[in-house]
Structure 1
Amino acid sequence: MRTVKVKEVADLVGISVRTLHHYDEMRLLSPDRMTDAGYRLYSNANLEMLQQILFFRELGFPLKKIKEIIHDPAFDRLEALELHRSMLLEKRSRLDQVIATVDKTIRHAKGELQMTNKEKFEGFDFSHNPYEQEARERWGDEAMEKSNAVIGNMPKDEQSAMSDEMVMIFEKIATVRKGSSDSEEAQAAIGEWYALLNSKDYHYSLEAFKGLGQLYAEDERFTRSVDRFGDGLAEFMRDAMAVYADMNA
């Protein structure tokens, strides 16, 4: 049976060696073999399981839930693949509708056609995004309100100092946003952000921190504020905060 070294797997898939090590440490995906020198060797079965994990990740499942699903004795890989396909087709269909709306809006902006108000919003159906709704209900608005209340009760000089520190951290994260969200530099900066959020009376759990990152990218109020420090920063922070939460869970 041919095996593949961890670096080869990382290069093949496009994820970091560190991520694969984390999957092993949390017993989500452990290699079939280890050499005497401690090198991880992955089999074809390991690669198939990794593919399955990444399908679940593409659909927004957290790592702990994926571990629970794929290690259940009743797990049926083929059935899961068929479900993945159905969900991805639905996702693609919604994206195709949104793209069509963008194309029509471009032509509308050029004066080539007229759009009704209804046509301007075709393809947007947030009722089919349970992950965003769950994040908002469990972690988003309530967490932000509590955090803002804590800041609002600080003396003015402490508010100013914290604001300066927030800006400094956002600027630091913005400098590495063109790289990988799981790089050491990105994770160190995100760790500073997590520590700052938890430096006062309100505590963000790792789960709440991850949900907050989702809101940065999914709620235009947050996106506008975060992206002032660099285009695409909100989406980068979402990904980096998810990595941080998963790796420190």
Structure 2
Amino acid sequence: MRQIFFDTETTGLEADKGDRIIEVGCVEMVNRQLTGNNLHLYINPERASHEDALRVHGLTEEFLSDKPKFAEIVDQLLAFLAGAELVIHNAPFDIGFINAELRRLRRGVLTDHVSGVRDTLLMARDLFPGKANSLDALCRRLEVDNTKRVLHGALLDAELLADVYIRLTRGQDALLMDDHGDAGGGDAHASFEAVDLRRFELPVLRADAAEAEAHAKLLVELDKAAGGACKWRTLEPAEPVA
């Protein structure tokens, strides 16, 4: 299963009022293994960021002025996301901005290009009702190191989200997982030979006469306790095995 942990930074909070995307971070995971095949893009929004947004991400108008416009990176982005499940924290926000950009270019909507979207904010609210469930709060609760997160950055936040997701879903898709989904903490690139269990002949242990008699007495007692309604008393006894 191919999943992309996805995050954006924007000039403000309102895509429907002209705010634009300025940064995209994508972190790829295949079968709960981080592949290192990530995508990180800065985008010229053709407008300045709001002061509050600038304090969050620190990406100035001057820094972004020579970066490509969204129309110049849309094919690269959609090709990278194609067919994957997106994992996003507070998905409506990021999807709303991407859809606004796609509509300007008449490229449909994001869900036309991906297999689905999973919102980790909704997952966290189910697991930790009534608690703070921001990405920072989840990092603290799940012991994900976010000390490098002085400012918000799309790629860094996507990387943190991948670690948070593994911890949120630990035990659901596999038994023992390390921080990046490796069973048993081994080498992420290790390979294991499949074992054909058909070559093993398992011994069958039959009850002896005393055990069979004790079992029959127990069935009679259970049948009495159930008022004679026990279904197993109506079954034919199994054929003895030589």
TM-score (norm 2): 0.25
- Quick check: which one's helix share is greater? 1
- Quick check: which one's strand share is greater? 2
TM-score (norm 1): 0.24
Question: Which one has more relative contact order, counting CA pairs under 8 Å at least 6 apart?
Answer: 2
